[in-house]
């Protein structure tokens, strides 16, 4: 692989947790979990209480607060810092799990069915949206797939555009750097690693790689909340929204899916996660492969 010098980061020194706050009360838990469900769409049942308490303890320390009650008063106050801390709270409480070429069958469908169909219909520069992109592995994978398609089938496509969105500013910042532990690419073929990743020469432990510039520059990152009334994004030919809906209830799932489908051009394609379904939702789409749909 080509080499890239990435500055060495010093060893992480973990400080002991001192003066831990009193456990979160039921009322405090309900205040936060209710907000997350109404404003973000993510259900947080009683089983998530310890997780919320653990993750927010760091915020109390950072803000110099001693109780969860003080934190709730702060985060939901009318203070000018409110929006910034609410965004931080959402970042801290949002779980992000992804990897390169996750659910690889989808990319086979994309290459064998979706892209040839778009080319046949005259779409030579498709717009692709990775909705819920987490730390960037999915949109960068899509960019690699597009480059491979164009390399192996010269003249079929002229360009492509990828929009990647997530509610978490923390993971979006990580996605923009495109630096990942080397172990995240170990299962990929040597050809893919050589073509699309740069290996660090710096003495970083654990070692890291970076997605190359050509792959990165095709992806635009933007913050978006699925609970927004309207999605401020252009019309798309392909939308990936995988393993996101599982965190929502049925009513919220249908609302989000309707807004996504409304952003698909006629004949456009929607990819969902393999554990997700649109059964009973009466959407204007037809199934072309497992959890892959076309707008009709």
Active site residues: 55, 166
DSSP 3-state of 156: coil
Q: Which two tokens stand for residue 64?
A: 């110099």
Q: Which two tokens stand for residue 224?
A: 């978006």
**Bridge partners of 22?**
none
State how beta strands 208-211 and 219-223 pair: unpaired
- Cite the DSSP H helix spans in 153-230: 169-177, 190-196, 213-216
Sheet containing strand 236-241, edge to edge, reads 219-223, 161-166, 127-131, 236-241, 264-272, 292-295, 285-289
The length of the chain in residues reads: 296
Query: How far apart (Å, rounded) are the C-alpha atoms in residues 112 and 114?
Result: 6
Query: How far apart (Å, rounded) are the C-alpha atoms in residues 270 and 145?
Result: 16
Query: How far apart (Å, rounded) are the C-alpha atoms in residues 273 and 256?
Result: 14
CA 57 to centroid of chain Cα atoms: 24
Q: Report which of 204, 174, 208, 207 is spatially closest to residue 10, judged by C-alpha positions.
A: 204
State how beta strands 292-295 and 264-272 pair: antiparallel
- Is residue 196 within 8 Å of 190, Cβ to Cβ? no
Run of H or E including 75 = helix 68-75
**Bridge partners of 180?**
209
For helices 82-93 and 68-75, angle between their N-to-C axes, nearest 10 degrees: 120
């Amino acid at each position: 692989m080509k080499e890239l010098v990435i500055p060495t980061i010093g060893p992480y020194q973990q400080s002991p947790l001192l003066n831990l706050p009193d456990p979160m009360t039921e009322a405090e838990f309900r205040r936060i979990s209710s907000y997350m469900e109404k404003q973000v769409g993510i259900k947080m049942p009683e089983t998530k209480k310890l997780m919320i308490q653990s993750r927010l303890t760091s915020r109390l320390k950072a803000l110099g607060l001693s109780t969860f009650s003080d934190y709730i008063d702060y985060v939901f106050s009318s203070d000018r810092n409110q929006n910034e801390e609410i965004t931080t709270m959402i970042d801290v409480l949002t779980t992000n799990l992804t990897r390169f070429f996750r659910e690889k069958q989808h990319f086979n469908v994309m290459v064998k069915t979706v892209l040839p169909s778009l080319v046949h219909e005259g779409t030579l520069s498709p717009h692709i949206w990775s909705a819920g992109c987490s730390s960037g592995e999915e949109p960068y994978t899509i960019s690699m797939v597009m480059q491979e398609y164009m390399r192996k089938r010269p003249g079929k496509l002229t360009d492509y555009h990828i929009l990647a969105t997530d509610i978490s500013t923390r993971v979006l910042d990580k996605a923009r750097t495109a630096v990942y532990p080397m172990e995240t690419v170990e299962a990929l073929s040597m050809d893919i690693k050589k073509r699309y990743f740069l290996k660090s020469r710096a003495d970083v432990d654990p070692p890291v790689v970076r997605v190359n510039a050509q792959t990165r520059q095709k992806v635009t990152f933007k913050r978006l909340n699925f609970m927004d009334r309207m999605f401020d994004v252009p019309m798309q030919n392909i939308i990936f929204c995988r393993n996101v809906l599982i965190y929502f209830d049925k009513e919220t799932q249908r609302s989000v899916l309707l807004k996504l489908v409304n952003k698909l051009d006629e004949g456009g394609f929607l990819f969902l996660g393999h554990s997700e379904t649109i059964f009973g939702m009466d959407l204007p789409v037809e199934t072309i492969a497992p959890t892959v749909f076309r707008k009709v």
